[in-house]
Amino acid sequence: MVTWRSITRTFQQHHAPIRAQVRHLSLLEHHSYNLLKEFKLPVPPGFLVTTPEHAKEVVSDINGSSVIKAQILAGGRGKGKFTSDGKSGVRMVNSPSEAFKSATSMLGYHLKTAQTPEDGLRVDKLYVYKAISIAQEFYIAITFDRQRTSPVLLISSSGGTNIESNVENLHQLWFGLFTGITNEIHAYIQAELGFSDTEMKDVHRILVQMVQLFKEKDATLVELNPLVRTDDGEFVCLDAKFAFDDLARYRQKDIFALEERSPEEEEEYQLAELGLSYVRLDGNIGNIVNGAGLAMATNDLISLYGGRCANFLDVGGGATKEALSKALGILKKDQRVEGILINIYGGIVRCDMIAEAIVAAATGMGGFKCPIVVRLQGTNSEKGLKLVEQTGLDNLIVEAEFEKAAQLIVKQTPGVDL
């Protein structure tokens, strides 16, 4: 599960060298509001709801115009559309009955935006807060410029849903984590965005607190969009997005405990906890292999013979009973998987030990309804294949040759047109 805002992504594409993909934690908006409040950043009072009845109750207590926002890990909600009624993921309501009606057509339905998958994302939570009169919207974010090895402040007077079409108007201001927002940066922002002295005091305080949050929480992105100036001249954060360095998980346990994952991301997370690498694909043949090179070769060979892979699952050197049980368990729960190829090369870990782990895992799970082809090569491979073959478990097939094993699983898998 990784959700990066398109603005910072566009910035980093033009300012950063290509790096290996790193998964970052992102928070839902209601968690972000709580984090902003922790650092004394101004936010409207709001409430998380999961039922239409609760939404109605909250708006009744607010006793005024309210905003309802879908809680998903994607931007562009204001311009997005629900599959239920074609309306957006951010709605203004003026009464409890309107809140009930809107929540009914939002909860349990998918919201499609420019940043979601084609089918959209399911919405199970809404955030409700009192509507605020907006005089102007601003965009402010702090992220890293990897090329300069420096944090950078991005700021624009075109905030809200307009920012993505005005990326070229972003002001880019580099700073040091220890120096923070300097007098020069302060003066530049005031001159370019036209803030009065009184307004700039509030903006400066917000920027200082953003930098503090960025440092203390090991963030890779702190984004306020929009930061609004109200008709009364106050500044309030109406939406916030964060991303955090995955390598800081051990330091930021409270924040990472808030992580919400889709079912696909949950599978990846559980396997990563065991030191396994998992990538979900769109086919129906599951793979369990050891080694990234063997994994890619397995996927390629299955594709060559007319099959489509459901995953890339590398157990590495950890082909233990626990790892294989977890891997097989996840593939068993995946309703798309109609056949599995276990392709293991035994080196330090002998093939007979791998075979024992496969048999123990399969037996402990009560067998499989789909065919499983087991291919073992390397140390004690013949002994390992014999152990698997002698189990008598239904749908467990052995094949020592790589190409024949790939052909066999494609042939044995239902729904594959040969």
Q: Which of 12, 142, 25 is nearest to 73 (CA)?
A: 25
Please count the CA atoms within 13 angstroms of the CA of 211 that sit on its side-chain side: 20
Please count the CA atoms within 13 angstroms of the CA of 278 that sit on its side-chain side: 25
CA–CA distance, 227 with 222 (Å, rounded to integer): 12
CA–CA distance, 218 with 308 (Å, rounded to integer): 39
Is 269 noted as a catalytic residue in this protein?
Answer: no
Q: Please, which residues have CB within 8 angstroms of residue 14's CB and are 6 or more apart in sequence?
A: none
Helices assigned H by DSSP within 107-252? 183-193, 197-216
Catalytic residue among 223, 259, 338, 399: 223
Tokens of 408: 């066999």
Radius of gyration of the chain (CA): 26
Element (H, E) at 222: strand 219-230
Is 278 noted as a catalytic residue in this protein?
Answer: no
CA–CA distance, 339 with 262 (Å, rounded to integer): 24
Helices assigned H by DSSP within 39-134? 52-62, 96-104
Are 108 and 122 contacting, i.e. CB atoms less than 8 angstroms apart? yes
Element (H, E) at 269: helix 263-273
Catalytic residue among 33, 127, 139, 278: 139
Classify the phi-psi angles of 76: left when phi > 0, otherwise alpha if psi is within -120 to 50, otherwise beta: left
The residues annotated as belonging to the active site are: 139, 223
